Structure 1
Amino acid sequence: MSTITQPDQHESVISRMSVLDRFLAVWILAAMALGLLLGRTFPGLNAALDSIKIANISVPIAIGLLVMMYPVLAKVRYTEINRVTGDRKLMVLSLVLNWLVGPALMFSLAWLLLPDLPEYRTGLIIVGLARCIAMVFIWNDLACGDREAAAVLVAINSVFQVLMFGVLGWFYLQILPGWLGLSTTSAEFSFWAIVLSVVVFLGIPLVAGYLTRTLGERAKGREWYEEKFLPKIGPWALIGLLFTIVLLFALQGEAITSQPLAVARIALPLLAYFVVMFGGAMVLSKLSGLNYAKSTSVSMTAAGNNFELAIAVAIGTFGITSGQALAGVVGPLIEVPVLVALVYVAKWAGRKFWAGDPTVPVD
């Protein structure tokens, strides 16, 4: 989503960001406020939007998500996968954190803190399964992480989600609760609905992004592609995200404003999740011998979640005004300020625990 290049240690990261990226939190908060205002001003808006569906997928939401995710996935250097995957410590640590620790931690926090709210609990578990593939680029760049490592981890997470999201959703929502003697998700839950949502909202932009880069570089070269083409399509990622947030908050406006306590309860496990995942990833990365830049990339990708995909799956499976969708919508509200704060934590940790490492930012 971000249009900036690999960080220069002697240049301020903020100064090189576009106006759209620099004030990201402001735009997101404004989109949330606008969505809430629209939802409260036009009570019939949610029913009207919910009626525009194809194969139980909301067309307006689908448009926003596809517009948001395509530019992000078009930025990934797919040809660099072999180089970065050669770092076994980085790869193993990232895969374990993202696909074993992350989902299990969110499952535990959801059941521990929301035992009496099954819809919100299910929504959070879905969030835990959706590994970050979009906004992580922004947090990684702000913290001066290794952009190529982040890009490869994002690409791998993208492929894993297409292949494994439906399987893990079935396991964490039906199989594991049964083994533990806990109540399972409503019978309305559909494994194939999750698979369809993942294929539409992740598979389509992933294939489009891969083909765009491959064909673009083949026709015009990498320099043209990254310096001319990507800056033109980059802003559309944020436009798509903001459009989607406006729609989601318009649809959930009444629920959010009328249930502040429920929103606060959803926020608590999310906050705990971000802090534990980021802190644990930084410590494990340091112990594994990774430099600051790679440690930051591992930590940011582990802490962040793909709320866009989680929301899409929740909507496609449980409905656009469901509690599961609300849990996903609350996610960006908490993620943005927390991850911004963790950027500063990462820089502080770099100066304190990676002293002498040339990848530690000087600003």
Structure 2
Amino acid sequence: MGLFERYLSVWVGLCIVAGVLMGNALPGLFATIAGLEFARVNLVVAVLIWVMIYPMMVQIDFTSIKDIGRRPKGLVLTLVINWLIKPFTMAALGWLFFRVLFAGFVDPETAGEYIAGMILLGVAPCTAMVFVWSQLTKGDPNYTLVQVSVNDVIMVFAFAPIAAFLLGVSDVVVPWQTLLLSVVLYVALPLLAGILTRRALGDTAHVEGFLARVKPWSVVGLLATVVLLFGFQAQTILAQPLAIVLIAIPLLIQTYGIFAIAYTAAKAMRLPHNIAAPACMIGTSNFFELAVAVAISLFGLHSGAALATVVGVLVEVPVMLSLVAFANRTRHWFPSV
């Protein structure tokens, strides 16, 4: 496991290349896998993400969750970043790049769709992958669960109004099946499995022994997910390389910029690292399944908005891994628990 964690960025890079090559060599296979979905949630990817999340859920000490209310600052930071800053900086960057800086490269209609896709990403905070980022930064699993759960509750009520306001439309239809199914698959079921597993294992020694055996599967699930995601989009990547690059530039600036704001605030608030790192990861990453689903329903499968949300999927894993590495190297900036 040490070898995998030490060179995780290398393995991810190899999986990205493998996914693109396999997606172009075996398009029919990846099309078949992509078709295995319900409510626009790919079931194969869902299983792999479940495999990633499950070990962290086993780590959660459910009796200590009640004490999190005594340390509200990390939760406040996450909520401020996700709902008062991130959607609006994403909209501003989209306008700056596609209405000003890249105006000569993209026609106005397509530019508007790219901006819309970016906005949808900005309004959808991460639900699933953040458990992986938390685990890789040795985050507090109990606190991470509460942060994600509170964000999910707020998202049910806030996603449509904020998206409608920033898109300038009044008919944003939230795909409730996608939203609710994702929460069930990525939070509720792994959480239930974690509760049952801890109950079956009993004492702490048995739990730790079990985790030592299952934790490597988190990395396996992550790498397999990367192969699939890039395999699904392999033909798009090679067919529209300029569009991918143009969309990726503001998304990268947004991602690193939001993390910088959140991490600086966490340091100023003197949060312990095991709360600060997951809080910043939640505020930085995106719920791409929801963003893709809404983009398709509003603008169509082959629209610029759908493409922009897909690019968000493609940049997320490698960028978040770089932030995980940075967070781990700067652990000493924060007070110990």
TM over 0.5: yes
2:130 is equivalent to residue 133 of structure 1: yes
Question: How far has the Cα of 1:341 moved from its partner?
Answer: 3.8
Q: Could you tell which deviates more after superposition, 92-101 or 248-257?
A: 92-101
Aligned to 1:49: 33
Q: In structure 2, what residue type is equivalent to 1:117?
A: A
Aligned to 2:162: 172
Which has the larger helix fraction?
Answer: 2
Question: How far has the Cα of 1:252 moved from its partner?
Answer: 0.7
2:191 is equivalent to residue 210 of structure 1: yes
Q: Is the 8 A contact 2:137 2:324 kept in 1?
A: no
Aligned to 1:241: 222
- Give the structure-2-normalised TM-score: 0.78
C-alpha RMSD over aligned residues? 3.2
2:210 is equivalent to residue 229 of structure 1: yes
Matched residue of 1:135: which SS?
A: helix
Q: Is the 8 A contact 2:30 2:231 kept in 1?
A: yes
* Distance in structure 2 (CA, Å) of the matches to 1:62 and 1:316: 18
Question: How far has the Cα of 1:258 moved from its partner?
Answer: 2.9
Matches within 5 A, 1:112-123: 112-115=96-99, 116-123=110-117
Aligned to 1:181: none
- Give the structure-1-normalised TM-score: 0.73
Matches within 5 A, 1:294-333: 294-303=275-284, 305-306=285-286, 309-311=287-289, 314=292, 318=296, 322-323=306-307, 324-333=309-318
Aligned to 1:24: 8
Matches within 5 A, 1:66-81: 66-81=50-65
* Distance in structure 2 (CA, Å) of the matches to 1:126 and 1:230: 36
Aligned to 1:100: 84
Matched residue of 1:137: which SS?
A: helix
Question: How far has the Cα of 1:206 moved from its partner?
Answer: 1.9
Question: How far has the Cα of 1:86 moved from its partner?
Answer: 0.5
Question: How far has the Cα of 1:251 moved from its partner?
Answer: 1.5
Distance 1:50 1:283, change over 3 A: closer
* Distance in structure 1 (CA, Å) of the matches to 2:148 and 2:34: 27
* Distance in structure 2 (CA, Å) of the matches to 1:107 and 1:160: 24
**Unaligned residue ranges in structure 1 (runs of 5+):** 1-16, 142-146, 179-183
Matched residue of 1:134: which SS?
A: helix
Distance 1:299 1:162, change over 3 A: closer
* Distance in structure 1 (CA, Å) of the matches to 2:268 and 2:262: 10
Distance 1:217 1:284, change over 3 A: same
Question: How far has the Cα of 1:241 moved from its partner?
Answer: 2.3
Q: Is the 8 A contact 1:85 1:91 kept in 2?
A: no
Identity of aligned residues (%): 25
* Distance in structure 2 (CA, Å) of the matches to 1:288 and 1:71: 30
* Distance in structure 1 (CA, Å) of the matches to 2:82 and 2:49: 22
* Distance in structure 2 (CA, Å) of the matches to 1:238 and 1:97: 28
Aligned to 2:118: 124
* Distance in structure 2 (CA, Å) of the matches to 1:43 and 1:286: 46
* Distance in structure 1 (CA, Å) of the matches to 2:231 and 2:72: 45
* Distance in structure 1 (CA, Å) of the matches to 2:27 and 2:85: 41
Q: Is the 8 A contact 1:46 1:250 kept in 2?
A: yes
Q: Could you tell which deviates more after superposition, 231-240 or 241-250?
A: 231-240
Aligned to 2:103: none
* Distance in structure 2 (CA, Å) of the matches to 1:343 and 1:119: 36
Matched residue of 1:130: which SS?
A: coil
Q: Is the 8 A contact 2:37 2:43 kept in 1?
A: yes
Question: How far has the Cα of 1:155 moved from its partner?
Answer: 0.9
Runs of 4+ more than 6 Å apart: none
Matched residue of 1:91: which SS?
A: helix
Distance 1:121 1:336, change over 3 A: farther
**Unaligned residue ranges in structure 2 (runs of 5+):** 100-109
